[in-house]
Structures are given as structure tokens and as C-alpha cells.
Amino acid sequence: MSTYDAFADFRMADHVAIVTGGAQNIGAGIATALAGAGARVVIADLNGEKAKATAEVIEQRTGSPAIGIGCDVTSDADIQACIDATVGTFGGISTLVNNVGWGEANADPFAVTEEQMVASYRLNTVSALRMTSAAVPYLRQAENASVTNSGSMVSFLPRSTSSPTARRRPP
């Protein structure tokens, strides 16, 4: 029986990808897949040490260059530093994955404060707009540029216990 490798035609050579929140779990998986397909990868994560360690593992596993950068995606200064470091290291940006997102269950949704809701919106939604805006000058120069925004089913199937909160998951 013949087998078909669905990833055989998935090539990302010549691409430079930034993956936010890529130090662990889903983001690290995305970064590994992109690097495995030949992309040079930047992991931008609040936990800079873990981002660097994950980038090292990815580089060893895939053979594609990867770097990790400490970056808080709610900080404009950190975002710009990440963009500058990416362009300085790899010469451009063609792929952006806004993977960062976080929420937590609340026993009492009415106890969630306005500040918590606003901070959650900044982390989960505004950060993707800010990252994309900062990357756009380079994405426009790239061939086959793409932006991917991660979300959750909770956004369209809300439960009373999953209302937004501000607390950042500890790195």
C-alpha cells in the first residue's frame, strides 16, 4: 500500500517566521513544524530563557536556524525590539503567528473586574494587532507573506466560567 506524506509538499524555505508564545506547547509545535519545513524561526515569548532553550532544541531537531527572544507582546517597546532583532538576524519577516493567548476559569463571572477584562483584551486581541502592525512593513516586502492568529472555541462558545481575566499564566 502506498503512503502519502501530507507534509512532503509543505516547504517554508526562504521564509522567516515569528511565533509568539512559542516557548512551549502549541506555539513550540508550530515553530517546530515551520522550522522542519525549512523556515528560519524566531520564538518571541515572555519567558526569554525558555524561548532560547526551545529555539536551540528546534535548531538541533530540524537543522533550520532558530532564535529565542524575550518579548512581552503587550509592550510596544518589546514588540519593536523583537521585530528589529528578527530583521537584524534573518533580514526580513514573511510569516507571523500570533499564538499568545490566555484565560482562566472563574467560579463567579460577576467578580471579574473591568481592569481584568481590559487586560485580557490587550493580551488576547490587541497584542495581535500590535505585532502585525509592527511586522507589516516587512511582510509587504516578502513573497507569500502570511499572518495567523490563534484563538479558542471559548470565543464563540462562551461559558459563564470562562469569562476573561487578566492574570498572565506564569512562564
The site map against ligand NAD for 56-95 (x = CB under 6 A) is ---------------xxxx---------------------
| 152 near ligand NAD (CB under 6 A) | yes
| 171 near ligand NAD (CB under 6 A) | yes
Nearest to residue 96, comparing CAs of 135, 58, 124, 69? 135
**CA distances (Å), 70 to each of 47, 118, 170, in order?**
6, 23, 14
**Residue 50 is inside which H or E element, if any?**
helix 48-62
| 119 near ligand NAD (CB under 6 A) | no
* Nearest-10 crossing angle of helices 127-139, 76-90: 30
Task: Enter the C-alpha cell of residue 85.
Answer: 532583532
| 132 near ligand NAD (CB under 6 A) | no
The site map against ligand NAD for 6-45 (x = CB under 6 A) is --------------xx-xxxxx-----------------x
CA 21 to CA 24: how far, in whole Å? 7
CB of 3 to ligand NAD, least distance (A): 29
What is the SS3 assignment for 30? helix
> What does the binding site for ligand NAD look like in residue numbers (CB under 6 A)?
20-21, 23-27, 45-47, 71-74, 99-102, 123, 150, 152, 168-169, 171
